[in-house]
Structure 1
Amino acid sequence: METLPKEQLLNSLEHLVDGHLQQAIRHFQNMTAHDLLQPAYNGGWSIAQCLDHLNSYGHYYLPKIQQGIAKNIHLPPKDTFKSSWLGAYFIKMMDPETGKKKYKAFKGHIPAPDLDAYAVVAEFIQQQENLLIYLKEARSTDLNAIRIPISIARFITLKLGDVFQFVIAHNERHIRQAMRNVTDINKRILH
């Protein structure tokens, strides 16, 4: 595990989150509910289901991140971050560039087919805005010292820096999935 400058890591994560936010505003926010709820061409999740799945993880992780930062704001900030071996494993597994394997969604994170598509998109946008706030707040903390329990096994904790990277890699994975649906919808419209 390499040690990274904290500023460099947070800047790259903010860039990704801002990209997710802009895609949601530019593409998903302006689509019809019908298109947002349209199952993927290959039978996979609709755009709304992809976002609802991400929102379900946001429901768990965002309050934990906020609490972790608030409780540990007194810790002296550290200028570097080093992933734990477990954190690096989870990040690599979830990153769409390095983790090519498909995974089944865990119970509690499986989206329903009949969603309020506009509410799902609005919540996703709000969560990305909150994530940007927490990334900014994290600049004055120690990403190594704050520990966050993971959603699938709460007795296991990861460093805040690993949790940020995991959540954002997971978001990237499903944003790409949703964008493939946008491409499919646009192809159908053109034909």
Structure 2
Amino acid sequence: MLPTSAEDTVALIEEARRQSAEVGQLLGSLSEGAARWRPDETRWSVTGHVAHLSVLNAAYLEAISEAIGRAAMDGPRGEGPYRHPRIAAWFVRSMEPPPRRRIRTFRSMIPDPGVSPSRASHDFDGLQTRMIDLLERARGLDLGRVRFGSPFASLLRLSLGAGFALLLAHNRRHIWLAREVMALPGFPGPGGMSEGGQGEGAEGG
């Protein structure tokens, strides 16, 4: 959700913690073979979806951190109501699951095919913790007026609030897609030992 007031920050923090726990449980319940299983060369494994989130989140959180640092000096402050760019609101909504269409992923967002499930889970958890820290640092700032540029699309400028909401929505999208992989015919299940790396290709969503 897009935050409209300072009180909404609490809900964003709670959602970040919930997602961290869900991903930890998801990968922790699978063997390495099952976590790496791919239905075909164009789709990602459960591990691949989580690792992709860390690639994207790390870049976005760095941009958000820099924006907070600049705004902390003399940036706009306020408790709300926050007003976000219309295109940003649309972009956030487009990320919510279930996916309406499959998206071809930029090469810069494709995860390392060799990353292990445990590393993917650890990295995701660490970045969720950083997101929570940044949400705390942003308290008092106007989350609608403080803006930053997307690290992957220079022409796209987002408000701080939209940036946080986008990451959480995108996380939900790929957690949904990871669970979709687990529901496919041929998935080896929690105890399966099928081999296979993430590889490259479409995000599967």
Q: TM-score under structure 2 normalisation?
A: 0.79
Q: Is 1:104 aligned with 2:85?
A: no
Which residue pairs with 1:95 in the alignment? 96
Distance 2:117 2:55 in 1: 14
Gaps of 5+ in 2: 193-205
Normalized per residue, the structure richer in strand is 1
Which residue pairs with 2:154 in the alignment? 154
Distance 2:27 2:151 in 1: 27
- What is the number of equivalent residue pairs in this alignment? 187
CA distance 1:41–1:156, change in 2 (3 Å): closer
- Taking only the aligned residue pairs, the percentage that are identical comes to 20
**Secondary structure class of the residue paired with 2:139:** helix
Distance 2:33 2:104 in 1: 25
Q: Which has the higher contact order (CA 8 A, sep 6+)?
A: 2
Gaps of 5+ in 1: none
CA distance 1:114–1:79, change in 2 (3 Å): same
CA distance 1:42–1:108, change in 2 (3 Å): closer
1:95 and 1:170 in contact (8 A); partners too: yes
CA distance 1:52–1:157, change in 2 (3 Å): same
Distance 2:3 2:151 in 1: 25
Instruction: Note the C-alpha offset of 1:6.
Output: 3.0
**Secondary structure class of the residue paired with 1:154:** coil
User: Where do 1:1-191 residues align within 5 Å?
Assistant: 4-8=4-8, 10-40=9-39, 44-74=43-73, 75=75, 76-96=77-97, 100-183=100-183, 185=187
Name whichever of 173-182 and 85-94 sits farther off: 173-182
- Computed over aligned residues only, the root mean square deviation of the Cα atoms, in angstroms, reads 2.6
Instruction: Note the C-alpha offset of 1:122.
Output: 0.7
